[in-house]
Structure 1
Amino acid sequence: MLILVPKALEREDLSTFRGVLDAAEWEDGASTAGANSARVKSNRQLPTDGEASRRLGARVVSALLANPAFVSAAIPLRIFPPLFNRYDEGDHFDPHVDNALRGDAMTGARLRADLAATLFLSEAEEYDGGELIVEDLYGSRRFKPAAGDLVLFSAGSLHMVTPVTRGARFAAFLWLQSMIRGDEARGLVHDLDLSIQDLAPRLGRDDLDIRRLSIVYHNLIRSWGEA
């Protein structure tokens, strides 16, 4: 799965976030990297146990769970507390794959990382470089969207952030465990939901075919979903 969710964070929230991030104290981003990715990672991030990280992270989760496009694609069961990073000139994150399991030292929560997401908090014109590149079945896709947009992709995908050559790139990043483990099954459920959303305004929610598709959609989640 690899999709762009536009306006996952609204403008008024972006202004608040940037005010906090511009004034924050940052630490070496290697502190949350796995054994392999730490060797290819050069950036900074907010301390994970800091008040700013937790407060902004809670706001990100609230915004995502209220976003129909995100919920339809991710079908989230558990969301790891979002983290925040910045890439200054020369910073980068070479090709890597995220760890399959994530643990939160503060809460003790653990989850299987089915999906990863990057929420862009800088406008594209604020920095050069800093593109997110994700490999999927169709090759490499490059992302440098507007502030507030989110890229959602399989946590098992090879991905990287190209070197920043001007300015600073701010982002939130997170992992989640989906109610549906498999990418293919989750993609089929997402496609069906999109079809229902497309047809319903034209046919009406009470249309018999729409009702049948809705029944199939919910039964697929029941069949493939996890407790």
Structure 2
Amino acid sequence: MILAIADVLDAATAAAASRTLHGLPFRDGRETAGWEARRVKSNLQADARDAAAAVLKADLLARIAAHPLFGIAARPARPPRMLLSRYDEGMGYGAHMDDALMGGLRTDLSFTLFLSAPEDYAGGALVIESTAGEQEYRLPAGTMLLYPTTFLHRVAPVERGTRLVAVGWVQSLVRDAARREMLFDLETAREMLAGDAGRARERALIGRSIGNLLRMWAEP
């Protein structure tokens, strides 16, 4: 399941995050890439040792964790890992798959939180390869794309301007992507019944199924 989650940040918060990120010190993005991805990666990443970068990351992670769609789609087992990335003109990231393990974290899901507005840069689309072909994403500032880490993906070269994003990885309580999607559908169905007082029984049965499936599938 590939899920675009709107309004993780409102417009003002996304603009403020973008301004902060512009002013941070950056390092060569290849320093944090795996040995194979390093050959196709051309970007900059905020220096993790910088105090302002740490504050920005903590704020963004808190806002992501608080979004209800993220919770039911990802079902995180641990706090995600995050990098703050910058792509200037000519920079991009060739086709790759993110490392399966990062500092002891199993990467079940990846996400890109867009901080630059689409009109602020040209090119720079996130391209995800699936059995349906290639899908390109240039989403509004404050929107996050959540997708299984098993997909090959790339960032097309930036043709104009600067592309600013926060990228991260999640270890889920539910390792299997198909099972996560089933649980997401059940949660969505339960919420669709929330406004109908006469459907309390149906909501309870769906909730029972969600709970029992989590008992079967979750890996705390």
TM-score range, shorter chain: over 0.9
User: Is residue 195 of structure 2 the alignment partner of residue 195 of structure 1?
Assistant: no
The 1:215–1:25 alpha-carbon spacing in structure 2 relative to 1, beyond 3 Å, is same
Distance 2:160 2:187 in 1: 40
Distance 1:196 1:80 in 2: 27
RMSD: 1.4
Comparing 215-224 with 176-185, greater Cα deviation is found at 215-224
The 1:36–1:205 alpha-carbon spacing in structure 2 relative to 1, beyond 3 Å, is farther
Comparing 74-83 with 32-41, greater Cα deviation is found at 74-83
Distance 2:94 2:122 in 1: 17
Q: How far apart are residue 130 of structure 1 and its match?
A: 0.4
Distance 1:174 1:61 in 2: 9
Amino acid at match of 2:20: V
**1:60-71 mapped onto 2 (5 Å cutoff):** 60-71=60-71
Distance 1:167 1:53 in 2: 21
Q: Determine if contact 1:96/1:158 at 8 Å carries over to the other structure.
A: yes
- Tell me what 2:14 maps to: 14
- Tell me what 1:213 maps to: 206
1:78 is paired with a residue whose SS is coil
Unaligned runs of 5+ in 1: 104-109
Q: Determine if contact 2:15/2:115 at 8 Å carries over to the other structure.
A: no
- Tell me what 1:83 maps to: 83
- Tell me what 2:157 maps to: 163
After TM superposition, the score normalised by the length of structure 1 is: 0.93
Unaligned runs of 5+ in 2: none
For residues 171-207 of structure 1, what are the alpha-carbon distances to aligned partners after superposition, in whole Å with 9 as ceiling and x for unaligned?
A: 0000010010010111110111111111222x23861
**1:15-164 mapped onto 2 (5 Å cutoff):** 15-103=15-103, 110-164=104-158
Q: How far apart are residue 79 of structure 1 and its match?
A: 2.8
Comparing 155-164 with 4-13, greater Cα deviation is found at 4-13
Amino acid at match of 2:140: A
User: Is residue 185 of structure 2 the alignment partner of residue 185 of structure 1?
Assistant: no
Q: How far apart are residue 22 of structure 1 and its match?
A: 1.7
- Tell me what 2:218 maps to: 225
Percent identity among equivalent residues?
Answer: 35
Amino acid at match of 2:161: G
2:134 is paired with a residue whose SS is strand
- Tell me what 1:106 maps to: none
- Tell me what 2:170 maps to: 176
Q: How far apart are residue 84 of structure 1 and its match?
A: 0.4
Where do 4+ consecutive residues of structure 1 move more than 4 Å?
none
Q: How far apart are residue 115 of structure 1 and its match?
A: 0.4
Distance 2:119 2:76 in 1: 32
Q: Determine if contact 1:192/1:217 at 8 Å carries over to the other structure.
A: yes
1:76 is paired with a residue whose SS is coil
After TM superposition, the score normalised by the length of structure 2 is: 0.95
Amino acid at match of 1:210: R
Q: Determine if contact 1:54/1:81 at 8 Å carries over to the other structure.
A: no
The 1:89–1:205 alpha-carbon spacing in structure 2 relative to 1, beyond 3 Å, is farther
Distance 1:195 1:25 in 2: 45
1:128 is paired with a residue whose SS is strand
Comparing 9-18 with 212-221, greater Cα deviation is found at 9-18
Amino acid at match of 1:226: E
